Amino acid sequence: MKTPIISPSILSADFANLGEEVQDIDAAGADWIHVDVMDGHFVPNLTIGPAVIKALRGHTQKPFDVHLMISPVDRYVEAFVDAGADILTVHGEAGPHLHRTLQLIRSFGIKAGVALNPATPWQSVEPVIHDLDLILVMSVNPGYGGQKFIRSQLDKISALRGLIDGCEVDVTLEVDGGVNAQTAVDVLSAGADALVAGTAVFQGGPECYAGNIEALRGAANAADAAD
92 is in an annotated binding site: no
198 is in an annotated binding site: yes
Active-site residue, from 133, 176, 186, 193: 176
Buried b (16+ CB within 10 A) or exposed e, 56-87: bbebbebbbbbbbbbbebbebbeebbebbbbb
49 is in an annotated binding site: no
177 is in an annotated binding site: yes
Q: Is the dihedral of CA 91, 140, 205, 7 positive or negative?
A: negative
146 is in an annotated binding site: yes
86 is a catalytic site residue: no
| Strand residues in 50-103 grouped as ranges (E) | 64-69, 87-91
9 is in an annotated binding site: yes
Whether the link from the prior residue into 96 is cis, omega within 30° of 0, is no
* Residue 81 Rama label (left phi>0; alpha psi -120 to 50; beta): alpha
143 is in an annotated binding site: yes
Active-site residue, from 24, 31, 36, 133: 36
176 is a catalytic site residue: yes
145 is in an annotated binding site: yes
Known binding residues: 9, 34, 36, 67, 143-146, 176-178, 198-199
Catalytic residues: 36, 176
Known binding residues for a divalent metal cation: 34, 36, 67, 176
Known binding residues for substrate: 9, 67, 143-146, 176-178, 198-199
